[in-house]
Structure 1
Amino acid sequence: MTTHLPDETASPLPSSVIQVRGVRVHNLKNIDLDIPLNQLIAVCGVSGSGKTSLAFDTLYAEGQRRYLETLSPSARQYLNQLPKPDADQITQIPPAIALRQNTSQRHFTSRGRESTAGIESGIQHYLRLLFTASGQIFCPDCQIPISPQSPESVLALIKTLPAGIRYQICYPVTTGEQSLSEIIQELKQQGLNRVILHHEEYQLADDLTVPLSEFDTEQNEILVVLDRLTTRSIDDQRILESLEFAFTESSGQATLIVMEPLSEQTTGTPFQIGQQQSFRFDFSTDLFCPQCRREFAQPEPQLFNFFSPSGACSHCGGSGIITESSSISSAESCPHCQGSRLNPSALAVFIHELNIHQLGLLPIQQITAWLKQFKEGLGSTEAQPLAPVLREIGERLSLLNELGLGYLTLNRTRSTLSSGEIQRTALTSLLSSNLVNTLYVLDEPSSGLHPADSHRVISVLQKLRQLNNTLLIVEHDAAFIRAAEQIIELGPEAGKAGGEVVFSGSLEALMSCDRSPTSRFLNAAEIGSLKSEPDRQASEWITLTDATQNNLQSITVKFPLRQLCVVTGISGSGKSSLIEQTLFPLLAAQLSETQFSPIDYGCQSLSGADQIDEVILLDHSLTGQNPRSIPATYLNLFDEIRSIFATTPDARLRNLSPGHFSFNSKSGGRCPVCKGTGKIEIDLQFLADLTMDCQECHGKRYQRELLEIKYRKLNIAEVLELTVDEAFPFFRGQPALQRKLKQLKDVGLGYLPLGQPLPTLSGGECQRLKLAAYLNTSSRNKTLFLMNEPTRGLHPLDIQYVLNCFNYLLTAGHSIILNEHNLDLIRAADHIIDLGPEAGAEGGHIVVTGTPAEVAAHPTSYTGQALNQKFS
């Protein structure tokens, strides 16, 4: 293997490129590259060709490692353990930030408390700061403003009273366990001579008419009169001294009693003293309502955070729902917080007549207008300290609008967002950092985007690049590849047949590169008639009537069975609401014969479910994901592999059973340090967790004794490093194993290593892994498969794998309904249901249904326009 060392005699490289020499990470074959800085660079190639190995495992990993070298000793103590990427030389690499596709698909929940669009975009954090700094508390019962009082604020109120009004400055006594006689004795020693007991005023110098022994100091109030004054002449100094004494003696409490009748508009409370009608005003340095005595918490950022005990509703724990223990389906909105997830103190804080929950219910376009109105009402002294917070909120709102998400509300929970909405919301948080001279590594920013939305994301990426940043995007989408200033293609094939630099240069040069698979699909002539008749006729249908989930506009939808049905439309048009949140739960409930009402699922009625036996939703998540979960365990391959190793002569000699080759079992032969994960996580506290190879097993997962056992010259760790394509011939003579491996090859996962941790798979890979598990369905009768973007993460040349699987399932008598944006797959559909025309409140309608040719002929369908643009 060639080793590349710096040539001391060579002229120095320009500082405008990242020099990469001799990279051997994973399947990369000692590659050399010069990557230009301050450009938009697309890394492409067939699935499994090494794109992620270059972009994330080499460039991002090295950029992160070098950044950590600049940090404090507490962070740097781990750097001696942090391995460098396997490369001879990497120079001029800037600090790096990454957004992986699979991390944007994880569920960020805690005890049922789900993240929201506001949290994912980072806006919610700044709104908490804004409500802390500028929010005004209003008592929800009395509808009056609540604020902490001071001697100066009470004096200001006194000056608003009519002239000639008599008033008394008092304070309530904190009694503790003292008796009334003990309290009176202390007051006399302080030189005080008046108290109000039982709505009667007494002089302490006289004998009190109330029996001291019968007075309960815990149940009855004692008001001490400090000063008796009139508004004819106001002595500021005297009043302030009395008020300061009152606040000090009563731990922050003071009372003003006006001895004259006041207008009905007064905020005072009627208070009887003897035969005289008075008005009472209570003040506190704490926050409580002077009328109903309700207390409120001091605004601080965590008060507006339902993930924090300080802010969460105490009844639902911040989830917004109350669930009956007998059934999750019986969950209903929390009656105490009305689903807001926040406690009453948080909901009592308002800015411009909205609390933070009400603000989060507005579409983002309206929040932009609300923020503008708020800023216009600020004085210069108020605006200056708020400027950084207002700038962050404004820029993120602007970016969401620019990305076409202005219809979203900040309170939308993550599970109700489409994959395209999740991707762009995550992009907002990442791209709002306003960093310069930074390397951004992005995994398929086109993921979940309708072709009509691609230009929005491309425009934002180009603006970010103009701030002297370098953007490295792993992409398959033609629009993004064409927008790149530099293209790097790896391949030519997947796994060990890839890992080479097929091409590096401009788009013009790529188009003339005969060796490039990407060039073949970019140059492919897509001219040809679109399908005008379905490949299979539908004689049976499932019908949803008056679907209203989220933004669906009371639509009635007919889904054909035994056909490839594709639901299309721009992001936010209602596809996920229709399939994942309405059709699937309704069918699941009806097929399981549970008691339900279609209205509970946002639908008037469902018919045709009796024509299928089973419904399966293949989304982008995998249950039970942990670092020890791998494709071999998910498809039950690993049991057979372990049994094969246990039958080898060396294993029998050492009395090793299949259980010894499990890294999930404590009693097996797994590494005791990493517990079979091969990785060690380091908590850097103020930074994201750092993951590195285990120093004990060097990432092999097993103890040394187990690694000495070999089958066909490979130990079990080396077998798990094989890709599916490599494992298929390796396990010749094992028909059961090969059958399952072929299922993975059939869904386009031939490049996937058997031992790759499931949490590192992309959403599309997770979905195709599920599909592989269901491919052997010849014995299943009438199954309806629901899928969300099965082509995600696939190179266009690999999409035929998925189409072949669909044809197999349809031929076996099953039905398929997809949410999809990929035009090659949409073109193959038998029936299309196009939603829109726009997103959010302007979506949720059926624009057109029919064959690809019929959709392409519709004048206002975005999907039809995209089909025409590509295939005509």
Structure 2
Amino acid sequence: MSTDPSNPEPTAADLHSVIQVRGARVNNLTNVSVDLPKRRLTVFTGVSGSGKSSLVFGTIAAESQRLINETYTAFIQSFMPSMGRPDVDSLHNLSAAIVVDQERMGANSRSTVGTATDAYTMLRIIFSRLGIPHIGTSTAFSFNSAEGMCPECEGIGQVSKIDIDQLVDRELSLKEGAITVPGFAVDSWYWQVMAASGLYDPDTRLAGFTAAEWEDFLYKPATKIKVGSNNLTYEGLVTKVQRVYLSKDRDSMQGHIKAFVDRAVVFTDCSVCGGTRLSAAALSSVIDGVNIAQCSAMQISDLAAFVRSMEDPSVAPLLATLRDTLDSLVEIGLGYLSLDRTSSTLSGGEAQRVKMVRHLGSSLTDVTYVFDEPTIGLHPHDIQRMNDLLLRLRDKGNTVLVVEHKPEVISIADHVVDLGPGAGSGGGQICYSGDVPGLRTSGTLTGRHLEHRARLRETVREPRGKLSITGAGLHNLKDVSVDIPTGVLTVVTGVAGSGKSSLIHGYLTGRDGVVVADQSPIRGSRRSNPATYTGLLGPIRTAFAKENGVKAALFSANSEGACPNCNGLGLVYTDLAMMAGVASVCEQCEGKRFTPEVLTYTLRGKNISEVLGMAVAEARDFFPSGQARAILDRLADVGLGYLRLGQPLNTLSGGERQRVKLAIHMAEKSATYVLDEPTTGLHMADVDQLLALLDRLVDDGNTVIVIEHHQAVMAHADWLIDLGPGAGHDGGKVVFTGTPAELVATGRTLTAEHLRAYVGG
């Protein structure tokens, strides 16, 4: 093999044992060439924005999936999204790639952990064979089949109803503003039709309406009425609200409408099936006195024990497979979930681990599995389990490619590819390719930080007061009462499923002055980008307008300056009905989003499209002062210097979304910040920058509360709150509160054990 790690040339004997990448130029990759050993575990490292995802997902996985699609007939391909060939000279020896990412598992309420892992399918077959009384085949136990679903809720398990008291104030009359629904204010058009209907007196308090008037007021179907000389259509308030608001997709609603709908619509368990989704017949069939819904509701670790107690030769192979699946879920740290948990409620990390278990049970071998930070959401105690599963996938004869920052995962790699040296235009190069011992001595940023340890804080800050939580019982919390000190950095930790999010998001979010910066998707369309979301586009448009003596609206791709062909998106989307839509670059504006006229206007030699194509770091030099520079400084402070101003928000990772939100909130004064795993997606070198930022927030008079597993953040805290001792019903208690030094000295929890090893290492 060549000794040049950036461009190794394999011998003929090695030719089919490596994936060859030659001349990759996707995004910021600079003509990258590298060989990756097949049937081995390769970890890709480097700072955020260095090009890891561009190489692994944008080049290798994308080309593998494109080539597989080309094996289908032209007819089938016509229904599939068109995938362009990645910008790469050549790729050799690819195998079928399966991407196991952190994308949420869709909003389909019929998808559960059980259906996503096939565990529920196996359980259905077992019940159809062993359940007493025998009620039919496995479909009789499926809430997705007409045979097995509850007829009342049609297998959803919940029914929705409108809370009337969120629509009206019964103590007021119409003229006094009794209707509190958006768009029904006194004298608005909807209000005028109702007040003039003659069906009730607009001066009478709603509480004084007769039964008939109340029925007409709320539920009357569309009816023609005469008001003066006009024929108008009258609808009852609930009837109109359902038609105008509730028939729309929630994500397309404006913020205040969405907030109203979330308040007014109440989902309750179906009274017929008790929320189990199943028919009475399915619920009547039991094994050892337990029905299938009770099995699905059990914590998976408990269900695994129950399944182990079943013995029957007729389903022995199926029982063995189900046991393996359930044991894998426990092993990977998901034993606290239940099979009836809706897939859409899983975090990105949980979703990725559920998908991983599904692939562990697959009969396929010699596949390339691609993982994106599989340790997200995992306590150090759980990372070893994750490593074991990655190695099991490799040992089945697969090639495993992992994008990861954690030293614990890097240490088990057969091969490491380190990209950098920086982010964005400063990255995109192979800094090192080889084994782990070689990385330690390579002198790269990753190599230098592999053994890096944050030290315990020498002196902790004194709290100014406290935020009290008393009697918390949400989810698995067991009557928890705890004080969170204000004016300091508090880290809340504990294994996945111990109750951290339930405690903090359940009892602090929503209080006055509490600002939450989490990783949830940013509500906004594919038009939104960092410039629009942070308010940066305002001063940029103003500067362009002032320089050129034209209207500021021209410099918005959502307004007058938008390319008419793509409406300012830069892409033309083709809807393929039931198939995934196809996006292609707009031919008229070539993806620049603006009209040719707008692109003739420049600011210091750059047009608006070129400015939006700048990375934050470059834009800081371009805007040396003013409001634009202040916003750009905050984006740089949170480690997003590589992010392009016009990059669509839906392309950002969870960690990047969180840091964009944090940058916006940093403009506010004297707040209580709640951050949820802010180290997500951060290189070890960037964690130090994050710690400095958290210190600055506290020193500016804020309270910072961080839910985090990273030991560097724990060590840097003024105060620790550790939940556990385990996950699910084995957790939900506060097992330690105090300083990190006290935890290391006297703690007996899993967190204490790992933090002690970290600071001692």
Normalised to the residue count of structure 1, the TM-score between the two structures is: 0.69
106, 113, 123: which one aligns with 2:119: 123
> Is contact 2:561–2:595 with CA below 8 Å preserved after alignment?
no
> Is contact 1:321–1:339 with CA below 8 Å preserved after alignment?
no
CA RMSD of aligned residues (A): 3.4
456, 479, 483: which one aligns with 1:554: 479
Q: For residues 471-482 of structure 1, what are the structure 2 equivalents within 5 Å?
A: 471-482=400-411
Pair 1:452-2:381 in alignment: yes
Residue type of the alignment partner of 1:813? G
Aligned to 2:611: 719
Pair 1:870-2:758 in alignment: yes
Residue type of the alignment partner of 1:425? V
95, 107, 110: which one aligns with 1:109: 107
Aligned to 1:578: 503
- How big is the shift at 1:33? 0.6
Structure 1 residues 627-650: Cα deviation after superposition (integer angstroms, max 9, x where no partner): 22211111012233334444554x
Structure 1 residues 447-466: Cα deviation after superposition (integer angstroms, max 9, x where no partner): 11111111100000001011
Between 1:309-318 and 1:33-42, the stretch displaced more is: 309-318
Distance of aligned partners of 1:520 and 1:373 in 2 relative to their CA distance in 1, 3 Å threshold:
same
Distance of aligned partners of 1:323 and 1:566 in 2 relative to their CA distance in 1, 3 Å threshold:
farther
Pair 1:377-2:312 in alignment: yes
624, 627, 638: which one aligns with 1:736: 627
State how far apart, in whole Å, the 1-side matches of 2:147 and 2:519 are: 31
State the secondary structure of the residue aligned to 2:712: helix
Distance of aligned partners of 1:689 and 1:448 in 2 relative to their CA distance in 1, 3 Å threshold:
farther
261, 266, 276: which one aligns with 1:340: 276
- How big is the shift at 1:444? 0.3
Structure 1 residues 455-507: Cα deviation after superposition (integer angstroms, max 9, x where no partner): 10000000101122111111100001111111111111111111111111111
Structure 1: stretches of 5+ with no match in the other structure: 1-5, 139-144, 148-297, 592-612
> Is contact 2:379–2:495 with CA below 8 Å preserved after alignment?
yes
> Is contact 2:141–2:278 with CA below 8 Å preserved after alignment?
no
Residue type of the alignment partner of 2:702? H
Structure 1 residues 419-465: Cα deviation after superposition (integer angstroms, max 9, x where no partner): 65444223223444342111111110111111111110000000101
> Is contact 2:499–2:724 with CA below 8 Å preserved after alignment?
yes
State how far apart, in whole Å, the 2-side matches of 1:125 and 1:661 are: 54
> Is contact 2:515–2:665 with CA below 8 Å preserved after alignment?
no
State the secondary structure of the residue aligned to 1:124: helix
State how far apart, in whole Å, the 2-side matches of 1:773 and 1:614 are: 15
Pair 1:564-2:489 in alignment: yes
Structure 2: stretches of 5+ with no match in the other structure: 1-6, 167-261
Aligned to 2:466: 541
Which runs of 4 or more aligned residues in structure 1 lie more than 6 Å from their structure 2 counterparts after TM superposition?
6-10
State how far apart, in whole Å, the 2-side matches of 1:851 and 1:93 are: 51
Q: For residues 153-168 of structure 1, what are the structure 2 equivalents within 5 Å?
A: none
Pair 1:678-2:571 in alignment: yes
State the secondary structure of the residue aligned to 1:632: helix
State the secondary structure of the residue aligned to 2:405: coil
Residue type of the alignment partner of 1:721? G
> Is contact 2:569–2:593 with CA below 8 Å preserved after alignment?
yes
- How big is the shift at 1:659? 3.4
Distance of aligned partners of 1:657 and 1:424 in 2 relative to their CA distance in 1, 3 Å threshold:
same
697, 705, 709: which one aligns with 1:821: 709
State how far apart, in whole Å, the 2-side matches of 1:75 and 1:614 are: 54
298, 301, 316: which one aligns with 1:362: 298
Aligned to 1:663: 557
Pair 1:749-2:678 in alignment: no
> Is contact 1:674–1:694 with CA below 8 Å preserved after alignment?
no
Aligned to 1:462: 391
Residue type of the alignment partner of 1:581? G
Aligned to 2:83: 82
Residue type of the alignment partner of 2:120? Q
Aligned to 1:850: 738
Aligned to 1:506: 435
Aligned to 2:190: none
State how far apart, in whole Å, the 1-side matches of 2:285 and 2:609 are: 58
607, 629, 640: which one aligns with 2:528: 629
- How big is the shift at 1:42? 0.7
Pair 1:531-2:457 in alignment: yes
Residue type of the alignment partner of 1:816? V
- How big is the shift at 1:735? 1.4
Residue type of the alignment partner of 1:304? F
Q: For residues 97-496 of structure 1, what are the structure 2 equivalents within 5 Å?
A: 97-101=98-102, 103-104=103-104, 108-109=106-107, 113=109, 116-128=112-124, 133-134=128-129, 300=139, 303-305=142-144, 311=149, 314-315=152-153, 318=156, 320=158, 322-325=160-163, 326-327=165-166, 332-344=268-280, 346-348=282-284, 350=286, 353-374=289-310, 376-379=311-314, 383=315, 393-413=322-342, 420-496=349-425
Identity fraction in percent: 37
Residue type of the alignment partner of 1:663? A
State how far apart, in whole Å, the 2-side matches of 1:847 and 1:869 are: 19
State the secondary structure of the residue aligned to 1:773: helix
State the secondary structure of the residue aligned to 2:450: helix
- How big is the shift at 1:7? 14
Distance of aligned partners of 1:556 and 1:44 in 2 relative to their CA distance in 1, 3 Å threshold:
same
- How big is the shift at 1:845? 2.1
Aligned to 1:774: 665
Residue type of the alignment partner of 2:395? Q
Aligned to 2:39: 38
State how far apart, in whole Å, the 2-side matches of 1:300 and 1:45 are: 49
- How big is the shift at 1:568? 0.8
Distance of aligned partners of 1:527 and 1:441 in 2 relative to their CA distance in 1, 3 Å threshold:
closer
Structure with greater Cα Rg: 1
Structure 1 residues 810-832: Cα deviation after superposition (integer angstroms, max 9, x where no partner): 22322121110011111110000
Pair 1:811-2:699 in alignment: yes
State the secondary structure of the residue aligned to 1:572: coil
Aligned to 1:61: 62
> Is contact 1:627–1:677 with CA below 8 Å preserved after alignment?
no
State how far apart, in whole Å, the 1-side matches of 2:140 and 2:570 are: 38
State how far apart, in whole Å, the 1-side matches of 2:604 and 2:34 are: 36
- How big is the shift at 1:716? 3.1
Structure 1 residues 285-334: Cα deviation after superposition (integer angstroms, max 9, x where no partner): xxxxxxxxxxxxx963794139x998366359825364543455665444
State the secondary structure of the residue aligned to 1:15: helix
State the secondary structure of the residue aligned to 2:334: coil
Aligned to 1:620: 519
> Is contact 1:856–1:863 with CA below 8 Å preserved after alignment?
no
Residue type of the alignment partner of 2:403? V
> Is contact 2:612–2:645 with CA below 8 Å preserved after alignment?
yes
Between 1:346-355 and 1:546-555, the stretch displaced more is: 346-355
Distance of aligned partners of 1:703 and 1:91 in 2 relative to their CA distance in 1, 3 Å threshold:
farther
State the secondary structure of the residue aligned to 1:865: helix
> Is contact 1:454–1:479 with CA below 8 Å preserved after alignment?
yes
State how far apart, in whole Å, the 2-side matches of 1:769 and 1:324 are: 35
Structure 1 residues 571-621: Cα deviation after superposition (integer angstroms, max 9, x where no partner): 11111121112333xxx3xx5xxxxxxxxxxxxxxxxxxxxx412222211
> Is contact 2:151–2:279 with CA below 8 Å preserved after alignment?
yes
Distance of aligned partners of 1:506 and 1:361 in 2 relative to their CA distance in 1, 3 Å threshold:
same
> Is contact 2:454–2:712 with CA below 8 Å preserved after alignment?
no
- How big is the shift at 1:67? 1.1
Residue type of the alignment partner of 2:697? L
State how far apart, in whole Å, the 2-side matches of 1:316 and 1:300 are: 14
843, 848, 861: which one aligns with 2:749: 861
- How big is the shift at 1:683? 5.2
Residue type of the alignment partner of 1:457? M
